[in-house]
A and B are shown apart, each in its own frame.
Chain A
Amino acid sequence: MSATSTPAHDQPVAEKNYLNAQHTVRSWLLTGDHKRIAVLYLVSVTIFFIVGSFLAGLIRLELMSPSGTMLESETYNKVFTAHGVVMIFFFLIPAIPAVFGNFFIPIVIGARDLAFPRLNLASWYLYVFSGILAVIALCSGGIDTAWTFYPPYSSMYSNSQVTLVIVAAFINGFSSIFTAINIIATIHKMRAPGMTWFRLPLMAWSSYATSVVVILGTPVVAITLLLVLMERAFKLPIFSPELGGDPVLFQHLFWFYSHPAVYIMILPAFGIQSELIANFARKRIFGYHFVAFSSLAIAGLGFVVWGHHMFVSSQSMYESTVFSLLTYLVAVPSAIKIFNWTATLYKGNIRLHAPMYYALSFIGLFTIGGLTGLYLANMGTDIHLTNTYFIVAHFHYVMVGGALTGFLGGLHYWWPKMFGRLYSDTAAKITAIIVFCGFNLTFFPQFIMGYMGMPRRYHYYYFAPEYQIYHILSSLGASLLGVGLILPAIYLTHSLIKGEKASANPWGAHGLEWTIPSPPPTENFTEIPIVTDEVYDFDPVAEHEANLAGKEIELPSESEQPTKVDEPTEAGKE
């Protein structure tokens, strides 16, 4: 993949990095180092992702046949609930902020660590503790309320492990609050000299916007779930109509968090996307300020659209009208991002490495996910599409096509930096194509059958066997997607053992993280850098001339080293 040799003065063999600084298990479990905590998080979210994917596989297997013979109704309810809970609370919400945010926010702003290392470690322990509780709940009967925990079913009637799962979700909320507090304090106060707000990489901006959403939204859902718990345990009457409460109030409070929560999942992926597009198009990002502020706009608007989840829940028409209009508004900052990434590609010197494959598929998939959201923002079409597979397809396009693709793109982009090893670029590119095809095959048929009327959360459809062909296509796609997700586990693990050693900057990318050795030393920087220009300071003239001449570019960030940059044609030669 890389033609970059490792300069001897850059990485002496004996040099200590964060991975080999200490070797004991204790040094990992009691570490304050943000990089080690990020690796701990990477391992844990991967485990939960495997669990969640396995549950998704069960769902797709069941729906191959219209008769619903493999799983009983109750089991099926428990399986899709578990899939939702695991994927949302234990993968999507922590995945990017807690892994890449943790690892790279201090490095890209030029700091030695996050502001509060012990809080950071506490956040991981809370995450693991809540994960263990959730797993215990799933093993001891599961939960059948769907991940939304709507009362009065969850508080008065369900005989499954609602209490345990709600406690797990509550504790998990504090884990993400701790990470968010850390990121906000770090970005505010620990930027290196010269690192002004508008020189920050866009990944820092979107992490900041995400953290704002986390600290404003998560406490609300925490207290709401606590009230459901009290209602369940002590019959404290808050949401149950038979006790004088209002179940729709729960939905308002729940979606006040859980709608912004989708921005908690997607905003960090936007940040990674901006890094990938700028660095592989080798061009200053188009409209930096617009991309930065659109993250904040999405975070802000995200808090005033929750009512679109309740168009059919006895909400007044006028309320729905306002929420519908506000929901349309969210499309504006999202579109600004898509247009700006596309405009960045225009006349860029595009290098098609594996991370760029993910970045390009992100643009397409997120656009489909976002535009289908407009059908759901419209009250008229939403009433037809509510609780159909159209919804399922829409949010999977955003969550899998957006957040998961962003996660994989980030993982491939930063893998050489995090572990100091290069993976096979060819294998990674083939995998990216498999993931893209498998994903579309899984979820595109769901748009069609959802539009035709296939309801979600049904485990049989013998009354409408014409949907079977779409379900079979979808299940086939899921198998392909499964293959595409197993492959990275193989070649990335292989790279840890046999991979070529990575240089400090194998992509020729810009950003402070590429100026330090791979893997970084524990203290990140031997001397805190002084920043003199914004991060995407690609020289358009030099890039263009180099491209015309097919020559190697000398990198500004490593100007003292004779570093070669790999050409697209050489990509994947290993």
Chain B
Amino acid sequence: MAAASHNIEPTPVHHQFEDIEQQNETYVVGMWTFLVTEIMFFGALFLVFTLYRWNYQLDFYKAHEHLDVKLGAINTTILLFSSFSMVLGVHFAQLQDRMKVLASLGLTVACAMAFLVIKGFEYASKFENQLYPGLGFTNNVEHVGGANLDHAQLFYGLYFAMTGLHAVHIIGGIITIGILMFLWLKKAPSVTKDYIPTEMVGLYWHFVDLVWIFLFPLFYLMPKPH
């Protein structure tokens, strides 16, 4: 929806809608419906994680100690800040202040890229210690804090699956925000005359942030089981 190409006529109402209100309300319903599918998408993974963590509490705790809480916390801060700059972007879109919208969206994209870079460093340190699941998984119990190797592999399998899928969504966000910025740059009336497309991209971006807000405590901040 955000990628809506600009119309030739100045009015941004598409042919299937009667007026701009109907179009905007439909966009909102469509976007929330899409977000429901995204919640179910991640929801299944959260369920799998919950079950295995419940089954192997101590091993998951031991395995998680190799994760870098500091980097995770920095990434959380970065993403929270990117959500703030996204909110600013929507705010300026309502005011039709084009330059400020572009600046806010640019800041959001920069934050997203910083997140990916830090995530890349984290992944690299896992790979150094052979903590990637598969046949090459480490045989050294030291690397996983003395946890059962099979269960530690399960933990890292889920870690890579969930943070990896989240990273894919971050990349999707960068692309979507990029297209939105391009439309603002081109002064396409579909975004400059109507703030709803910008707000929809914002909704998506907040969702991506929210997933990380759940991932961070689940993986990095495990309490010690009794």
Contact = CB atoms under 8 A, between A and B. Distances in A.
Chains A and B come from one and the same complex = yes
Interface of A: 106, 111-117, 119, 177, 180-182, 184-186, 188-190, 215-220, 222-224, 227, 230, 234-238, 243-246, 249, 253, 256, 523, 528
A523 B40 CA distance: 35
Interface in B109-163: 132-135, 148, 150-151, 153-154, 157-158, 160-161
Nearest to A233: B134
Interface stretch (B16-24, B68-76, B84-92): B16-24
B29 A185 contact: yes
B210 interface: no
Contacts of A238: 48, 154, 157-158, 161
Contacts of A237: 133, 150, 153-154, 157
A113 B15 contact: yes
Interface stretch (B30-38, B180-188, B189-197): B30-38
Contact of B15 (A112, A119, A184, A235): A112
B161 A227 contact: yes
B26 to A, nearest CB: 4
B41 A219 contact: yes
B175 interface: no
A188 B154 contact: no
Contacts of B43: 219-220
Given A216-B36, A238-B154, A253-B47, 19 more contacts: A113-B15, A116-B1, A177-B37, A184-B29, A184-B30, A185-B33, A189-B25, A189-B29, A190-B22, A219-B38, A219-B40, A220-B40, A220-B43, A230-B157, A235-B135, A236-B134, A237-B154, A243-B154, A246-B52
A111 B165 CA distance: 37
11 contacts: A111-B16, A113-B16, A115-B26, A119-B1, A181-B37, A185-B30, A189-B25, A230-B161, A237-B157, A243-B150, A523-B15
A253 B56 CA distance: 20
Contacts of B8: none
User: Chain B CB within 10 Å — which of A215, A223, A245 has the most?
Assistant: A223
Contacts of B158: 238
A117 B16 contact: yes
Nearest to B3: A118
A114 B34 CA distance: 16
Contact of B26 (A190, A215, A222, A227): A190
Contacts of B165: 223
Contacts of B17: 190
A224 to B, nearest CB: 6
Contact of A243 (B56, B153, B161): B153
A184 B35 CA distance: 13
A215 B33 CA distance: 7
B99 interface: no
Closest 6 CB pairs of A and B: A113-B16, A244-B150, A219-B41, A185-B30, A219-B40, A235-B134
A181 to B, nearest CB: 5
Contacts of A246: 51-52
A219 B41 CA distance: 5
Contacts of B47: 253
Contacts of B132: 234
Nearest to A256: B44
Contacts of A256: 44
B222 interface: no
B128 to A, nearest CB: 18
B133 A234 contact: yes
A244 B16 contact: no
B8 to A, nearest CB: 15
Report the contact-size class of chain B (Cβ under 8 Å from the partner).
35 or more
Interface of B: 1, 15-18, 22, 25-26, 29-30, 33-34, 36-38, 40-45, 47-48, 51-52, 56, 132-135, 148, 150-151, 153-154, 157-158, 160-161, 165
B12 to A, nearest CB: 15
Given A222-B41, A237-B150, A528 B29 contact: no
A114 B16 CA distance: 7
A27 to B, nearest CB: 16
Nearest to B59: A244
Q: Is the interface of A mostly helix, strand, loop or mixed?
A: helix
User: From DSSP, what is the main secondary structure of chain B's interface residues?
Assistant: helix
Given A224-B44, A237-B153, A244-B154, A219 B30 contact: no
A523 B14 CA distance: 12
Given A190-B17, A235-B135, A223 B45 contact: yes
A116 B30 contact: yes
A190 B17 CA distance: 8
Contacts of A119: 1
Contacts of B56: 244
A240 to B, nearest CB: 10
Contact of B34 (A106, A112, A181, A216): A181
B51 A249 contact: yes
A401 B44 CA distance: 33
Contact of B160 (A114, A182, A236): A236
Contacts of B33: 180-181, 184-185, 215
B2 to A, nearest CB: 12
Contacts of B38: 219
A245 B134 contact: no
B190 to A, nearest CB: 13
A235 B156 CA distance: 12
Nearest to A231: B157
A86 B95 CA distance: 52
B40 A115 contact: no
B40 A215 contact: yes
B204 to A, nearest CB: 13
Contact of A223 (B30, B44, B134, B157): B44
A115 B134 contact: no
A181 B51 CA distance: 30
A115 B16 CA distance: 7
B170 to A, nearest CB: 17
Nearest to A244: B150
A340 to B, nearest CB: 29
Contact of A220 (B1, B26, B30, B44): B44
Nearest to B16: A113
Given A190-B26, A236-B160, A244 B153 contact: yes
Nearest to B39: A219
B188 to A, nearest CB: 15
Contacts of A182: 30
A189 B26 contact: yes
B180 to A, nearest CB: 16
Nearest to B24: A189
A177 B40 CA distance: 12
B139 to A, nearest CB: 15
A114 B45 CA distance: 32
Nearest to A216: B40
A245 B51 CA distance: 11
Contact of A253 (B42, B44, B150, B160): B44
Given A115-B16, A219-B44, A245-B154, A181 B30 contact: yes
